[in-house]
Amino acid sequence: MHILVVGGGMGGTILANNLARRLSGELEQGSSKITMLSATDKHMYQPGLLYVAVGKMSTTELYRDQKSLLEPSIDFHVDPVEKFDMDNNSVTTKSGKKISYDILCIATGSRGNAAGIPGLAENACQFYTEADALAMYKKLQKFEGGKVVVATGVPHKCPMSPLEITFFLVDYFKKRGIWDKVDLHYTYPIGRVHSLEPVANWAAPEFDKLGITYETLFNMKEVVPGKVISEEDSSAEFDLLVTVPPHKGQQVIEDNELGAGGFIPTDKKKLNMEGRENVFVLGDTTNLPISKAGSTAHFEAEALGENIAALVQQGEPVREYDGKVFCFIEAGDGKATYAMFDYNNPPNPQAPTSGLHWFKTAYNRMYWASARGII
Amino acid sequence: MSDRILVDAKNTFCPGPLMELISNMKMADVGAELELLSTDEGSAADIPEWVNKVGHEIIESFKEDDVLHIIVKKVK
Amino acid sequence: MSSEISVQQQVDRFMQGAGDALTDDTVARLGFMINELLIIADRITRNKNIMKLLEMSESKDFAKVLDALGNAVESQKNAPKSSGIGGMLKVMGDPNVQNSLRLLGSINKELNK
C-alpha cells in the first residue's frame, strides 16, 4: 500500500508520523510505503505568530527542519503537488514527477486572504505570516496612541485569535505605558463577541472592565485609509487597524476544482473526500463547519492514523472522528483558559488562571514533540 | 431545488451556524440559494437578523426533527 | 497566624508561590527541555540497537568487556615497544594474543553471516 500525504503542516506531519509508528512492520518489510510531499523543508509553529506580533516570542523559535520532525521511514520530498488525477490515483508534482498512490491524504491547509476585501491588505496589520507578524510588531513599536480597531473576516484560522490579539494588545499598550492614550474597539462578524456563547459571555464583561468598546454583526466590506466599512452599513475609524483576515484554501485545491474557496467537501466523521473512498482530508483543508485550528488537525490526524492503519492491516476502518477540538484562550494579564468541545458536547470554559497560561507557554515549546506524534 | 448550496451546521459550536452561513454566502454567486441546517437555539433569531441587516433575503424557514432549515438567497 | 490550614489552602498557597516565582521565560525554558527530553526518550526507546545496547549493558560480561578495554588501554600506555620480526614473533607466541586473535576471528565470522 502506498500512502501519499500531501502537505507537511501540523495535520500532515502528525498523520504521517502516526501512520509510520502504526505501520512500522509493514514499512520495514516494504509491503507499505509512506511518502510526504510538501512545499517547504521548514516546519512552522503557526500559533507562535500571534506572540511574535506583540514581541512575546522570537521568529527563530517558530521553525524546525521538517525532516527532523518526521519518522525516518517516511519518504519526504520538497516537491508540492500541482495536479490531482483522482480517477487514476495519481498526482503530478511541480518538478513534473507523476506519483501513484493507493491512499491519498490532503492536508495543504489554509492561508490568509486579505486581498479578498478591498483595501484591507494595504491598510491593516495582520499576523498570519512571519513577515506580517514582524511588520505588525514594528508598527506597534512606533504607535504612540489613538484609535485601534480589531476587525475579523470569515472564515478564519484559529477562532480564538480575535480575542487573544485584543487582550495581548491591552497587555502590550499597558507595558509601554500608553494604554490611557489608546481607544481600543473590537468588531466581530456575528451577533456576540465570540462564536462560542460561553466564551462571548465571559469576554464581553472583560471588555467592559478594560474599557474596550465593541460592535457585533460587523463584516468588513471595504477599507479606506483610516476607516473600515462593514457590509451591515456601519463603519469604524482607526489610526491602527489589526485584522484577522478572511482565509481560503490553497491555490492548488482551487486550481484542481476540488472545492469552493479551496476547501474540500469532506465527510464529517470518516474524513474522506465526498465521493472518494481512498482520499482523506484533514485540518484547514476540509469544508467542515468546525474550527480551523491546529488542535482540530491534530485530533483528526489521530483518528485518521488509526483508521488508515486499520484499512491497511485489516481492510476496514475502526473509528470515526468525533469532532473534538481543544483551544487554549490567552486572556491577557498572564492568564489563560481553554475551550473543549465535539460534535455532541458544547464547550464549557472556566475562568482563566495563571496555571493554564503556563501550560500554554510550555506547550508553545513542546509542540515539536506533538508534531512527532509523542504527545 | 438541486442547485441549492447545503450548509450543514448541525451540532457545531465553533465557528457556528451564522459564521458558516456568512462564509458560504461570500463564496456563492449573487442569486444563489443556500440552505442552512442548524440545531443551535439562537439561530432562529440571529440568522434572520443578519440576513435582513445586510439586505439578503430569507426564502423559507422551517423546523423538521429538531433541525432548523433556513433558506437564504444572496441578493447582492 | 493560625497553624491549622486546610489542604485546599495549602494547594492555593503553593500555586500562589509558584506563580510568583515563575516567569514566562522560566516556563518556556522548562517546556523546551521537556520537549527535547521527550524526543530523546522517544528516539531511544524506539531504536532497537540502543535498546539492545542497554540490555547488554546490564549483563556481567558487558561489564567485563568494558573493564578489559579500560585495562588494555592503560597497559598499552606503559608497554615497552617491540620492533622488528623478532619482536613480532615473540608477541605472536603470547597465548593472550592468540586468544585475542581467535576472538577477532569469530567476531568477523559473525559479521559475515
**Strand ranges inside A153-310, DSSP E:** 182-187, 213-215, 220-224, 227-230, 235-237, 240-244, 247-249, 279-281
Cβ atoms B30, B75 nearer than 8 A: yes
Domain count for chain C, please give it.
2
Q: Does B57 touch chain A (CB under 8 A)?
A: no
Chain A residues near residue B13 by CB distance under 8 angstroms = 195-196, 341, 346-347
State the cell numbers at C8. 485546599
The reply to whether C24 touches chain A by the CB within 8 Å rule is: yes
Residue B13's domain is classified under what CATH number? 3.30.110.40
Chain A residues touching residue B23 (CB < 8 angstroms): 154-155, 261
- Predicted local confidence at residue B1, as pLDDT: 46
Asked if A326 has any chain C CB less than 8 Å from its own CB, the reply is no
For chain A, the C-alpha Rg in angstroms (whole number) is: 21
Contact B26 A246 (CB under 8 A): yes
Closest C-alpha to A189, from A151, A148, A227, A226: A151
A190 neighbors A216 (Cβ within 8 angstroms):
yes
Left (φ > 0), alpha (ψ -120 to 50) or beta: where does A145 sit?
left
> Is B14 labeled as catalytic in the residue annotation?
yes
C35·A365 Cβ contact <8 A:
yes
Q: What is the DSSP letter of C80?
A: P
And the C-alpha cell for B47? 440568522
Q: How many folded domains does chain B comprise? A: 1
Domain range holding B61? 5-73
Identical fold between A2-109+250-324 and A116-246: yes
Residue predicted with more confidence, A238 or C75: A238
CB distance A319 to A309 below 8 Å: no
Within a domain: residue C105?
Answer: yes
Q: Which residue of chain A has the CA closest to C45?
A: A374
Find the mean pLDDT for residues B19-44.
93
Stretch C82-105: mean pLDDT? 82
Compute how many other C-beta atoms are within 10 angstroms of the C-beta atom of residue C44.
Answer: 12
- What is the distance, to the nearest Å, from the Cα of residue C27 to the centroid of all Cα atoms in its chain? 29
Distance, in angstroms, between B2 CA and closest chain A CA? 17
Nearest to A369 among C15, C28, C35 (CB): C35
pLDDT tens figures, C43-61: 888 888 888 888 888 888 8
The x, y and z cell numbers of residue A150, run together, are: 480589531
Model pLDDT, residue C87 = 78
pLDDT confidence of residue C18: 80
The CATH superfamily label for domain A116-246 reads FAD/NAD(P)-binding domain (3.50.50.60)
| Closest-approach residue (CA) in chain A for C35 | A366
Average pLDDT over residues B40-68: 93
Domain that holds residue C30: 9-45
Q: Mean pLDDT by 10-residue block, N- to C-terminus, for chain A (375 residues)?
A: 97 97 96 98 97 96 95 97 98 98 98 97 98 98 98 96 97 98 98 94 96 97 98 97 97 97 96 97 96 96 97 94 95 94 92 92 94 90
Whether C40 maps to a domain, the answer reads yes
Spatial distance between the Cα atoms of A309 and A253, rounded to a whole number of angstroms? 26
pLDDT confidence bin for C19, thresholds 50/70/90: confident
| Whether A190 and B18 lie within 8 Å, measured CB to CB | yes
pLDDT band at C4; cut points 50, 70, 90: confident
- Do the chains contact at A362 and C34, CB–CB below 8 Å? yes
C24 domain residue, yes or no: yes
Residue pairs spanning A and C at CB distance below 8 A: 47
Looking at domain A2-109+250-324, its CATH superfamily turns out to be: FAD/NAD(P)-binding domain (3.50.50.60)
Can you give the residue ranges of every domain in chain A?
Answer: 2-109+250-324, 116-246
How far is B68 from chain A, CA to nearest CA, in Å? 16
In a domain, C66, yes or no: no
* Separation between Cα atoms, residue A136 and residue A5, nearest integer Å: 34
CA distance B39 to chain A (A): 11
Which chains pack against C, by 3+ Cβ pairs within 8 A?
Answer: A
Q: Quick check: is C64 in a domain?
A: no
Residue A358 to residue A353: CA distance in whole angstroms: 9
Q: Are strands B67-73 and B57-64 parallel, antiparallel or unpaired?
A: antiparallel
